[in-house]
Amino acid sequence: MTSKFRACAAPLIALAVFALFLPGSARAEEQNLVYEVYTGGIHALQAHMTLKSVNGRYDIVLEAKTRGFLGKMAPWEGIFESHGWIEKDGIYKPELHKSTAIWRGEEEIKEYKYKRDGHFIGLTEIVDGKAQDKSGLTAELTDGTTDALTGALNVLVKVAQGGECAGSEEVFDGKRRFKQIFVDYGVTTLTPTKYNIFKGDAAECTIEVKPVAGEWHKKPRGWMSIQEQGRERGSMPTLWAAQLKNGSPAVPVKIRVKTSYGVLFMHLAEFKDNERTVVAGHREKE
């Protein structure tokens, strides 16, 4: 189970940061959120996220790590961040995407850089202090791509406008190019629980990754394996997104992933802005 968790941890966290900012706001917008991940009755992971937008720019910073028994068996932690521009038409364009992942003491750092016109500048990768050769990247892998977080923002902008949670972007992750596809399933009314603070209507959509180019294995691994396990069980990875107050950015409020090991849920357990703090009952007791 621990190896399976390691394989899907990073993409799951990427789903957690599918947040949405109000385009072009001159006033700084900031939200702080805590997500808790449960699988098979185990509190497996916790993530702290800060979202900011000001003067036509956006910033996302997420820190996450395994916890409890799983934290001892599969000690993983990561920091994921994206920084870039919000165009006048509401399109998000990355300038820098950075991921730092630590697995059993080994650190892997990746930095992706882009021009404002969308041109991919390059990738820097350092594994356990040693720089990796990335000179052989081809246009087939990188041209016209974005990072996974920014790609999601451009799909979810429709949610804030009352539209469907649907669309697609192509993403380069350092080795592979893939299409990130959102399929709308309408609006669902959610009720708060001891694990999740959200109450109200949320846009529901599934998320699918389709290979385009790069180093893909014949047998699905990592996120692709988790995704296909869900397909076999009649449910692709599913996201619910909503605004927490009128005029504010929309954020993910719940994620569900079905696997051969059981159902994994990511819950919005805490929200804080300049006006209030809301905490789920289960989190308050811990």
- pLDDT tens digit string along 212-226? 999 898 888 888 998
Contacts of 1 (CB under 8 A, 6+ apart): 261
Contacts of 140 (CB under 8 A, 6+ apart): 177, 213
Q: Kindly state the tokens that stand for 259.
A: 């696997």
Model confidence at 284: pLDDT above 50: yes
Judged by average pLDDT, the poorest of 2-11, 39-48, 203-212, 262-271 is 2-11
- pLDDT tens digit string along 190-246? 999 999 999 999 999 999 999 999 989 888 888 899 899 999 999 999 999 988 766
Provide the pLDDT for residue 286. 56
Q: How far is CA 269 from CA 33, 63, 127, 154, 229, in A?
A: 8, 15, 33, 25, 26
**Do 83 and 96 contact (CB within 8 A), yes or no?**
yes
CA neighbours within 13 Å on the CB side: how many for 42?
Answer: 17
- pLDDT tens digit string along 93-123? 999 999 999 998 899 999 999 999 989 999 9
Q: How far is CA 140 from CA 114, 143, 223, 261, in A?
A: 16, 6, 22, 36
Q: What is the mean pLDDT of residues 68-90?
A: 91
Model confidence at 23: pLDDT above 60: no
Provide the pLDDT for residue 279. 93
The parent domain of residue 96 ranges over 2-285
Model confidence at 21: pLDDT above 60: no
Q: What is the mean pLDDT of residues 85-94?
A: 90
**Do 62 and 17 contact (CB within 8 A), yes or no?**
yes
Give the total number of structural domains in the chain. Answer: 1
Model confidence at 46: pLDDT above 90: yes
- pLDDT tens digit string along 127-184? 999 999 998 899 999 999 999 989 988 877 788 778 889 999 999 999 999 999 999 9
Provide the pLDDT for residue 25. 38
Give the Cα separation of 13 and 45 in Å (integer).
10
| pTM, entire model | 0.85
DSSP 8-state symbol, 153: H
CA nearest to 41, candidates 278, 262, 272: 262
